[in-house]
Amino acid sequence: MTDAPRRIDLAVIPGDGIGPEVTAEAVKVLRAVTGDDVDLALTEYSLGAEHWLATGETLPDGTLERLRTHDAILFGAVGAAPGDTRIPSGLIEREFLLKLRFSLDHFVNLRHSRLYPGVPSPLADPGTIDFVVVREGTEGPYTGNGGTLRGGTPQEVATEVSLNTAHGVERVVRDAFARASVRRGKLTLVHKHNVLVYAGHLWKRTVEAVAAEFPEVAHDYLHVDAAMIFLVTDPARFDVIVTDNLFGDIVTDLAAAVSGGIGLAASANLNMDRTAPSMFEPVHGSAPDIAGRQIADPTAAILSAALLLRHLGLNAHAARVEAAVEADIAARTGARSTATVGDAIAAAVS
Amino acid sequence: MTDAPRRIDLAVIPGDGIGPEVTAEAVKVLRAVTGDDVDLALTEYSLGAEHWLATGETLPDGTLERLRTHDAILFGAVGAAPGDTRIPSGLIEREFLLKLRFSLDHFVNLRHSRLYPGVPSPLADPGTIDFVVVREGTEGPYTGNGGTLRGGTPQEVATEVSLNTAHGVERVVRDAFARASVRRGKLTLVHKHNVLVYAGHLWKRTVEAVAAEFPEVAHDYLHVDAAMIFLVTDPARFDVIVTDNLFGDIVTDLAAAVSGGIGLAASANLNMDRTAPSMFEPVHGSAPDIAGRQIADPTAAILSAALLLRHLGLNAHAARVEAAVEADIAARTGARSTATVGDAIAAAVS
Ligand SMILES: CC(C)[C@H](C(=O)O)[C@@H](O)C(=O)O
Ligand SMILES: CC(C)[C@H](C(=O)O)[C@@H](O)C(=O)O
């Protein structure tokens, strides 16, 4: 008699553009790697720009409540084609993606940057790139606070308010220190405290305070502008970067670019208190220009699925996926279809 | 009988660290290139971190009023050594540098990025890099608006308010279009309007409106995160970038890094209405670690002096300095002292 396999109940949101294609491959790999060890239940949700065009819904309350009942969410990408004027600009991003991150309290937006052997970097001499960015996910300039006075007149004033709380900053800083303590023991705070004094000092003071709990972790500080320079001249200097929501958005796209492009960049939106499901998504968008042609690289989606496995405690399964991806990348020779990449990695982990 | 030479009355603020060394070379080149054509009057002002330590003054009202009387300001760099705890963090940056930019209404912060022949880029395949960033200089998240509630408690809330006005955005956008119209005719707005809705839409609407006045200029839009990617994968795509104060800070450091480093990056803080003097400064900081050793590269300061000449209508003189810098860079073989570089360029323009 064997134990019943562990049941894992996933929500899958393929989304728009290349989202469905890359998500299908991530699901394929999840099924292959978990095999008989896990009873994998998948529930697909139709959400995103296409869904909005068809129904006028972004993320209805009922859907959000159903999403809350799952163990985790696997997400592809959402977004209309840039020229599509039927969809108000930024609507899906805010009312679907950011609403999910905020509602499910995804306070750790985790993005690894690793230059895999065999992957070309745009940098002439990239060195070893292997760091993680812990981006705050529920505060900062992303809260939608702000407004417009006298809109459309020559007297218009538009404001954006960055909101930062001790609660929000401390929990993400502590998470980043914990990650650094099991990596190379180095944490870099990225901010701009010489200009953004109030938020900057909260972040700085919090890092100093939490550092006392992690004597094994060295920490330093970079202004965001200086961080730009180091990310292209010496990315090897980074181990764990912790930063706010907007700086994290900027830093992680640059980090993805220098480490081989957003076709490989995975991300996790983590609720580390586990009061709601975490969400796993490639950093790339819906890329409508190449959608439906089976030419998108599903690797970022597959690596995001590995982060999902890790978050659910399936560390050995996650490691198998990551090793298979690494081997697949190293063996790359020419262009392969989206499904071919997924098939190869699925076969390797079965 | 010849005309009396034109009188130009400059304020010179050498500042801290390597500021005095690089500024001395910029002055040397200015004197050499203007020769008998210009009656160059220089007034040196002692300001910066060292001055604050000695006097407790950042930028007294009387000094600011005297600075207003000059035709232009040549500025080196300010800032204490990172570890120097005697100076409140960010004080000099805000109470001196940003106060000058705001008081003198330097609404165009202009930064060229050009990869000179012979200069190594950290990019493997940089292509042709030749673009300018028109960074707004008097608004955005730099206004010092914000505050702290319940500071130092677990209930702390810190805010930063980005202020954007139709007046402020329109004038800098118009300036950027004008620059694009005499360059390659392409303007890229960089913002994050899918998240920063209020400010973002003001910027977007303003670009659309001003574009009608410049039918010869094509314009496009990039989210700041996407701009990061293009700056390292295809910097040749840019001609003129227009963006807000904070995004401009970030973009210009990355732009400087990919085009050969901040040792070459010049900048102008321009009051294009000419209601107050403009200020010219290298993008780099005071680099206290290498100060006083005559190893700093004065090229950024010298190129900033060329921007000064151009702003004062001395276009031929500016062009001579730029050509001399280009020739000097192309002929570089090994390390030279700060003064040796200045001497060589001064000799070439005499
Ligand atoms: C689509 C957008 C709202 C989002 C963000 O800014 O967070 C994206 O750029 C990302 O990084 O996941
Ligand atoms: C020193 C600092 C306030 C300044 C800025 O952020 O503008 C600097 O980084 C720059 O770019 O000139």
Per residue in A64-73, pLDDT tens?
Answer: 999 999 999 9
Ligand nearest to the CA of A196: 2
Tell me, yes or no, if B192 is annotated catalytic: yes
- Taking the C-alpha atoms of residue B64 and residue B322, their distance in angstroms, rounded to an integer, is 30
Predicted local confidence at residue A152, as pLDDT: 95
- What value, to the nearest 5°, has the Cα angle with vertex B298 and ends B297 and B301? 135
Q: Does A61 touch chain B (CB under 8 A)?
A: no
Residue A116 lies in a domain: no
Residues A298 and A235 in one domain: no
Given strand A278-282, what is the order of strands in its sheet? A38-44, A6-15, A72-77, A278-282, A266-270, A108-114, A130-136, A240-243, A186-191, A218-223
The overall average pLDDT reported for chain A is 96
Report residue A1's pLDDT band, with 50, 70 and 90 as the boundaries: low
Minimal C-alpha gap between A234 and chain B (Å): 9
Instruction: Write out the catalytic residue numbers of A.
Output: 142, 192, 225, 249, 253
Per-residue burial over A257-289, b if 16 or more Cβ lie within 10 Å, else e, is: bbbbbbbbbbbbbbbbeeebbbbbbbbbbbbbe
Residues with CB under 6 A from ligand 1: A 93, 97-98, 249; B 194-195, 225
Q: List the catalytic residue out of B239, B249, B297, B328.
A: B249
Q: Does B194 touch chain A (CB under 8 A)?
A: yes
User: Mean pLDDT across the stretch A320-329?
Assistant: 97
- Taking the C-alpha atoms of residue B237 and residue B213, their distance in angstroms, rounded to an integer, is 23
Paired with B101 in beta bridges are: none
Say yes or no: CB of residue B97 within 6 Å of ligand 2.
yes
Q: Does B148 touch chain A (CB under 8 A)?
A: yes
Nearest CB to A142 within list B89, B195, B226: B195
Tell me, yes or no, if B84 is annotated catalytic: no
Centroid of ligand 2 to alpha carbon of A339 (angstroms): 47
Predicted local confidence at residue A54, as pLDDT: 96
Centroid of ligand 2 to alpha carbon of B285 (angstroms): 8
Residues A162 and A279 in one domain: no
The per-residue DSSP string of B214-272 comes to -TT-EEEEEEHHHHHHHHHH-GGG-SEEEE-HHHHHHHHHHHHHHTT-TTS-EEEEE-T
Q: Which atom of ligand 2 sits closest to the CA of residue B281?
A: 12
Give the number of other CB atoms < 10 A from CB of residue B237: 14
Q: Does B159 touch chain A (CB under 8 A)?
A: yes
Query: Which of B221, B238, B259 corresponds to the end of one domain?
Result: B259
DSSP letter, residue B202 = H
Residue B309 lies in a domain: yes
Task: Count the residues in chain B.
Answer: 350
Predicted local confidence at residue A248, as pLDDT: 98
Residue B231 lies in a domain: yes
Residues B141 and B208 in one domain: yes
Report residue A89's pLDDT band, with 50, 70 and 90 as the boundaries: confident
B297 close to B319: Cβ distance less than 8 angstroms: no
Ligand nearest to the CA of B269: 2
Task: Count the residues in chain A.
Answer: 350
Query: Which of B259, B285, B303 corresponds to the end of one domain?
Result: B259
DSSP letter, residue B111 = E
Tens digit of pLDDT at every position of chain B (350 positions):
567 889 999 999 999 999 999 999 999 999 999 999 999 999 999 999 999 999 999 999 999 999 999 999 999 999 888 778 899 888 999 999 999 999 999 999 999 999 999 899 999 999 999 999 999 999 999 999 999 999 999 999 999 999 999 999 999 999 999 999 999 999 999 999 999 999 999 999 999 999 999 999 999 999 999 999 999 999 999 999 999 999 999 999 999 999 999 889 999 999 999 999 999 999 999 999 999 999 999 999 999 999 999 999 999 999 999 999 999 999 988 899 999 999 999 999 99
DSSP letter, residue A205 = H
DSSP letter, residue A236 = G
Residues B200 and B276 in one domain: no
DSSP letter, residue B123 = B
Residues A23 and A129 in one domain: no
Residue B116 lies in a domain: no
User: Mean pLDDT across the stretch A220-229?
Assistant: 97
Number of structural domains (chain A) is: 2
Predicted local confidence at residue B111, as pLDDT: 97
- What value, to the nearest 5°, has the Cα angle with vertex B57 and ends B56 and B62? 150
Contacts of A94 in chain B (CB under 8 A): 194-195, 197
User: Mean pLDDT across the stretch A243-259?
Assistant: 97
Q: List the catalytic residue out of B142, B175, B244, B328.
A: B142
Residues A269 and A251 in one domain: no
pTM of the complete model:
0.97
Residues A156 and A171 in one domain: yes
Predicted local confidence at residue B304, as pLDDT: 98
CB A159 to CB B158 under 8 A?
A: no
Query: Which of A238, A259, A280 corresponds to the end of one domain?
Result: A259
- The residue assigned the tokens 């001399």 is B324
Residue B115 lies in a domain: no
Predicted local confidence at residue B268, as pLDDT: 98
- What value, to the nearest 5°, has the Cα angle with vertex A84 and ends A268 and A104? 25
Q: Which of A120, A37, A25 is nearest to A344 (CA)?
A: A25
Residues 213-272, chain B: which have Cβ within 8 Å of A?
224-226, 228-229, 231-233, 246, 249-250, 252-254, 256-258, 261-262
User: Mean pLDDT across the stretch A38-53?
Assistant: 97
Q: Which of A58, A89, A97 should be mutated for ligand 1, with most atoms under 8 A from CB?
A: A97
Say yes or no: CB of residue A153 within 6 Å of ligand 2.
no
Residues A57 and A151 in one domain: no
Say yes or no: CB of residue B95 within 6 Å of ligand 2.
no
Q: Which of A96, A244, A245, A249 should be mutated for ligand 1, with most atoms under 8 A from CB?
A: A249
- CATH number at B178 reads 3.40.718.10
Residues A88 and A15 in one domain: yes
Contacts of A148 in chain B (CB under 8 A): 198, 201-202
Residue B114 lies in a domain: no
Predicted local confidence at residue A6, as pLDDT: 92
A82, pLDDT greater than 80:
no
DSSP letter, residue A3 = P
CB A163 to CB B159 under 8 A?
A: yes
Residue B69 lies in a domain: yes
Residues B100 and B129 in one domain: no
Residues B131 and B248 in one domain: yes
Residues A252 and A133 in one domain: yes
Centroid of ligand 2 to alpha carbon of B249 (angstroms): 6
Residues 24-43, chain B: which have Cβ within 8 Å of A?
none
Total CB pairs under 8 A between chain A and B: 202
Minimal C-alpha gap between B304 and chain A (Å): 20
Q: Which range marks the domain in which residue A298 is found?
A: 1-109+263-350
Q: Which of B78, B94, B98, B246 should be mutated for ligand 2, with most atoms under 8 A from CB?
A: B98
